[in-house]
Amino acid sequence: MKQPTPRLGASSASLPSLCPEALVDELARLGYQGVEWRVADIGHLDPTHPWDARQNNRCTIAPTESAISRIQAHCQSLSLQIFGLSPYLAVGDLDHAERLIDLAALAGQARLRLWAPNYASERYAEAYGRMRRFLDQILPRAEALGVQLVLEVHQRTICSSPSLAMRVVEHYPASSLGIIYDIGNLAIEGREDVQLSLDLMGRHLAHAQVKNVSYSPIGPGLGWQWDWCPPDEGVLPLASMLKTLADSGFADWISIEDFSTKYGDLHKLSRNRDLIRHYLGLGIKPDSHTATRHTAHEHTN
């Protein structure tokens, strides 16, 4: 019997120069199967300034029913699945959480990304308690609408590793609350052995996000600083990590979230598709000239 294979998607958060409709068209053309949308207010976007993943991200969907319905219809017309919505939801903001859960249901019961509290201004026990109370309040609505909440493994939060995320999610059904296994974030904080993490997460593993990080020294005694880099140029051995993931029988989404800026966004889409498919054993090795050539043209729509 043929082993199931992961499905390939992309995170719009990492492609700030593309308008959402252009991204959908390109994903479909390149054979991607799904997309994870950055959801945030778009009123501050400024086309006179450079597009930027954090501050001026064009590839963002407004948190409104009309915006979600439009992009859902466009995705459906090209057989592209919205498998995740990635908003910036503060723990404890019940009104916003309810609106986002409703929008996730409207987007074909997409998963809704959550971040745990950071630990800059409170101790772990307090932050953990706040997270648990928040989940207890919002999970009933999500369950009623068939929306799975997913907690992202993220640096500088109380869930910076798979094992720390499991301390939260193990109290809830996996169908209601899963974990986004962000492999790239682990290069900054929280890295654990892949097989160990898979064993720990079990059925709570939802989808995986892929990116990589490079380090450079700050100065004597000051440590090293990190920056995003192309998936094949960082400290993480993504080829072996993804092989372990695939060999485990993982057949959910691999979401490419490459925040590096060495290549243009369009070129990243095709380059990373070939690279990750190769790492997963789903395609031939990318041509070295193709893999390093900058694209001569970027989408301007």
Q: Greatest CA separation found in the chain?
A: 56
Q: Give me the chain's average pLDDT, please.
A: 94
Q: Assess if residue 298 is contained within a domain.
A: no
2 located within any domain: no
Q: Report yes or no on 97 lying in a domain.
A: yes
Query: Which residues, 6 or more positions from 136, have their beta carbon under 8 angstroms from its beta carbon?
Result: none
Q: What is the pLDDT of residue 4?
A: 79
pLDDT value, residue 297 = 39
Specify if 289 maps to a domain: no
Through-space distance between the first and last CA atoms of the chain, rounded to whole angstroms: 44
* Residue 113 located in a structural domain: yes
Is residue 9 helix, strand or coil?
strand
Instruction: Check which CATH number belongs to the domain holding 211 and give it.
Output: 3.20.20.150
Residue 104: the pLDDT is 98
Look at the pTM and tell me if it is higher than 0.85: yes
287: in domain: no
Q: How many CA atoms lie within 13 A of 263 on its CB side?
A: 21
Using alpha carbons only, how large is the chain's radius of gyration in Å? 19
CA-CA distance, 21 to 97, in Å (whole number)?
26
Give the tens place of pLDDT for each residue, 254-294: 999 999 999 999 999 999 999 999 999 887 666 544 444 43
Chain CA centroid to CA 55, Å: 17
- Domain extent, residue 57, equals 7-280
pLDDT for res 283: 75
Between CA 218 and CA 266 the distance in angstroms is 32
Query: Are 10 and 209 a contacting pair, CB within 8 Å?
Result: no
The confidence score (pLDDT) of residue 156 equals 96
- In this structure, are residues 219 and 226 in contact, taking their beta carbons and an 8 Å threshold? no
The total domain count for the chain is 1
Please report the sign of the dihedral spanned by the C-alpha atoms of residue 286, residue 74, residue 112, residue 46.
positive
Rounded to 5 degrees, φ, ψ at 267 are -65, -35
Q: Is residue 1 part of a domain?
A: no
The size of the chain, in residues, is 301
- Residue spans of the chain under pLDDT 70: 1-2, 284-301
Query: In sequence order, which residues have a C-beta less than 8 Å from that of residue 10 and are 6 or more positions away?
Result: 23, 27, 32, 35, 36, 255, 256, 257, 269, 272
- Supply the pLDDT for residue 215: 98
- The answer as to whether 242 is a domain residue is yes
